[in-house]
Amino acid sequence: MREILTGYWGKYKNSLFITPVFVLLESVVTLALPTLMSNIVDIGVAGGDRAYIIRCGLLMTLLALVSMASGFVSTWHAARAANGFGSNLRVAMFHHIQEFSFGDIDRFSTASLVTRTTSDVRQLQNAVQMMMRTFIQAPFQLIVAVVIVVTYSWKLALIYLIAIPVLFLGIISIMRLVDRLFTLVQQKLDAMNADIQENLIAIRVVKAFVRQRYEREKFRKANDELTHANLRAVGVIIAMGPLATIILNAVTLCLYWFGGRMVATGEIQSGQLLAVISYLTQIMMSVMMFSMVLMQYTRSRACGKRIAEVLDTEPDIRSKPDAAAHPIARDRGSVVFENVSFKYSKTGTGEEVLRDLSFSVAPGETVAIVGGTGSGKSSLVNLIPRFYDATEGRILVDGTDVRDYRIEDLRSGVGMVLQNNILFTGTIRENILWGKEDATDEEIIQALKNAQAWDFVSEMPDGLDTQIHQGGTNVSGGQKQRLCIARAMLKHPAILILDDSTSAVDSDTESRIRESFKRELKDTTVFIIAQRISSVVSADKILVLDNGRIESMGTHEELMQTSPIYRDIYTSQVKEALSDG
């Protein structure tokens, strides 16, 4: 928490020094006003000195204007510093999250990371803004006001010195109760955001299965839990109001009771008693402001711990400090697995999903991976660009262990079309340029033609400038797949990984895409995960996975002779095709 509060001010640091100056000026002026009012009563009114009353009145007006101006300046600079701090902190978190491995993201969950980067930072930002003013103003006004009251009457000051500790003890007791409640609030907010995110991403499935009622009920439950957690925290906080009111009224009553007697005996003047009562208001307001800051700090501390948890997490997968630049040549994309095993240690069951895999792929070869659901196909290809690291064994790309590459060099040499095709908000051109930032329109169009996507793109009213909605919801599944393939082909990678990337296109289109791979990416090593045997029969090598192990390996013709699993898959699909025909 301390490191967070000291490390993210940047160019807004000057406001940290300007704010206290004007807060102190505002406080000094505010503290002077009751004394001037006391002088008006005890000197001006008592002596019938109208000129003195006017002079003091004008001075009070001037001081009030100075107080207002100082308050404006200090508030503006506090807001500037706090918002700048929040902005810098969000940027730092976002940059750090970009370095996370898939395993790190899985551990926190996407919804929680969104909450931490937005809601948690906002709570911390609000606390900083409040603390910048109140942590200076409240103690200063409290101490000075008590000292002034002591100069008027030490007997009346005793009333303050008894009441203030009582109020602080009550506030501290309340803070202890709400600390864990605020942590629970943020956890419930995580859960509700997760429900919203999941529902919006899968809204088409929800509607297709008419599950709106179920989703509404699930959201209502998460929302109610968040509401109840908030109400429990607020219910404890509002106890401060009655506590402060009781103490304020009790102190006021005591001041009038004892102060009135002292005025009658001449120990204190009536104007001074009015000043003492005015300072009571300032003192109690200072205590209340300080308590609210402490309360905000309590909530922000819970948020700060969650933020620190993200910032303190060392990404599982990083480049070695001494890793030298080592780009992968396009015609050198050999891949070797040596006794590779893997398990999802942070988010899985702890069981190995890949076991003792060993095989080699020469540059330019096409390797197909087939197997049943859960056999480890996607896990295998995710190890090549180091989305995860192998638990045992090693993976060599172009003769070098993937862990010895700089991550940007390794991944720059690998193109991927993932199982879940992702397009970003923006134009088709902007999405394809992810493959090569400086590509010309001619290169983009050629990539689209190779991916069999130019036909439908050219028919769109805006062509390459057609806007893609968030998640690519305004294009079909097959169109989205072909745009993602074009993006990967534009990159001309040394290694291309296709994770079930043609499942939404027809066999004829898929065949034309495979022909473009042979023509345009003849030096590229290609890994294909596919459900259709027709997609893999022409591969140079086919791996058959079963329960995380390589059951068989060879060409289509060899596997038809040696692999019962492959033969069963082929036979069942041929029968299905014949029956459909």
The answer to the question of residue 353 being in a domain is yes
The phi and psi torsions of 342 (rounded to 5 degrees) equal -155, 140
The segment with the largest mean pLDDT, out of 242-256, 334-348, 403-417, is 403-417
* pLDDT at residue 358 greater than cutoff 90: yes
Same domain, 20 and 129: yes
Residue 177 domain-assigned (yes or no): no
How crowded is the C-beta side of 19, counted as CA atoms within 13 Å? 23
Across the chain, what does the average pLDDT equal? 84
Residues 304 and 382 occupy one common structural domain: no
Return the SS3 of 125: helix
CATH number at residue 54: 1.20.1560.10
Confidence of residue 3 (pLDDT cuts 50, 70, 90): low
* Residue 578 confidence (pLDDT) above 60: no
Please determine, for residue 344, whether its predicted confidence score (pLDDT) is greater than 90: no
Q: What's the token pair of residue 277?
A: 């009562």
Judgement on whether residues 346 and 312 belong to the same structural domain of the protein:
no
Mean pLDDT within 249-273 = 81
- Whether 308 and 386 share a structural domain: no
pLDDT number for residue 145: 82
- The CATH number given to whatever domain includes residue 374 is 3.40.50.300
Instruction: Please tell me whether residues 311 and 375 are part of one structural domain.
Output: no
Q: Is the pLDDT of residue 347 over 70?
A: no
- Is residue 232 assigned to a domain? no
Residue 520 lies in a domain: yes
pLDDT number for residue 445: 93
Question: For position 522, what pLDDT does the model report?
Answer: 84
Q: Which residues contact 135 (CB under 8 A, 6 or more apart)?
A: 290, 293
Say how far residue 101 (Cα) sits from the centre of its chain: 15
Over 60: is that where the pLDDT of 559 sits? yes
Residue that is last in its domain, among 269, 287, 316 = 316
Residue range 264-291: mean pLDDT, rounded: 79
DSSP string, 484-506: HHHHHHHT--SEEEEESTTTTS-
506 and 546 part of one domain: yes
List all residues 6 or more positions away from 90 whose beta carbon is below 8 Å from its beta carbon.
117, 118, 121
> Which ranges constitute the DSSP H helices of 238-269?
240-265
Q: Measure the CA–CA gap between 298 and 235, rounded to whole angstroms.
A: 15
Residue ending a domain, choose from 286, 316, 346: 316
Q: pLDDT tens digits for 512-540? A: 888 888 888 888 999 999 877 878 888 99
Asked if 264 contacts 127 with a C-beta cutoff of 8 angstroms, the reply is no
Percent with pLDDT over 90 in the chain = 26
Taking residues 343-368, report their average pLDDT: 84
Give a yes or no: residue 95 inside a domain: yes
Does residue 312 share a domain with residue 383?
A: no
User: Tens digit of pLDDT for each residue in 289-327?
Assistant: 777 777 777 778 878 888 888 998 888 888 888 877 778
Residue 143 lies in a domain: no
Q: For residue 266, how many other CB atoms are within 10 A of its CB? A: 7
Task: Tell me, yes or no, whether 438 and 507 share the same domain.
Answer: yes
Tokens of residue 571, six digits: 């036979």
Convert the pLDDT of each residue in 415-460 to its tens digit: 988 877 788 888 999 999 988 889 999 999 999 999 999 999 999 8
DSSP of 23-88: HHHHHHHHHHHHHHHHHIIIIIIHHT-HHHHHHHHHHHHHHHHHHHHHHHHHHHHHHHHHHHHHHH
Which residue has better confidence, 449 or 131? 449
* Residue 312 and residue 447 in one domain: no
Read off the pLDDT of each residue in 188-206 and give the average, rounded to a whole number. Answer: 78
Per-residue pLDDT, 461: 85
Instruction: Return the closest-CA partner of residue 336 out of 525, 489, 492.
Output: 525
Eight-class DSSP state of 541: E
| Same domain membership, residue 433 and residue 310 | no
Shared domain for 428 and 305, answered yes or no, is no
Which residues does residue 528 pair with via DSSP β-bridges, in sequence order? 368, 498
27-52 core/surface letters (b: 16 or more CB in 10 A; e: else): bbbbbbbbbebbbbbbebeeeeeeee
Give alpha helix (H) positions in 202-211.
Answer: 203-208
pLDDT digits (tens, 9 = 90+) for 14-69: 888 899 999 999 989 988 888 888 888 888 888 888 888 899 889 999 999 999 99
Please give the share of the chain, as a percent, with pLDDT higher than 70: 95
Q: Is residue 287 part of a domain?
A: no
The last residue of a domain, from among 269, 286, 316 = 316
Q: Which pLDDT score is estimated for 360?
A: 94
Q: Is residue 166 part of a domain?
A: no
pTM to 2 decimals?
A: 0.74
Shared-domain flag, residues 310 and 368? no
Q: What residue numbers bound the domain in which 67 lies?
A: 1-135+300-316
pLDDT band at 577 (very low <50, low <70, confident <90, very high): low
Neighbours of 204 (CB within 10 A): 9
Q: What is the mean pLDDT of residues 190-197?
A: 82
pLDDT (tens digit per residue) in 153-186: 888 778 877 877 887 777 777 777 776 777 788 7
pLDDT recorded at residue 401: 92
Number of domains the chain is built from? 2
Report which of residues 580 and 382 the model is more confident about: 382
C-alpha dihedral, 279 to 73 to 292 to 111, nearest 10°: 180
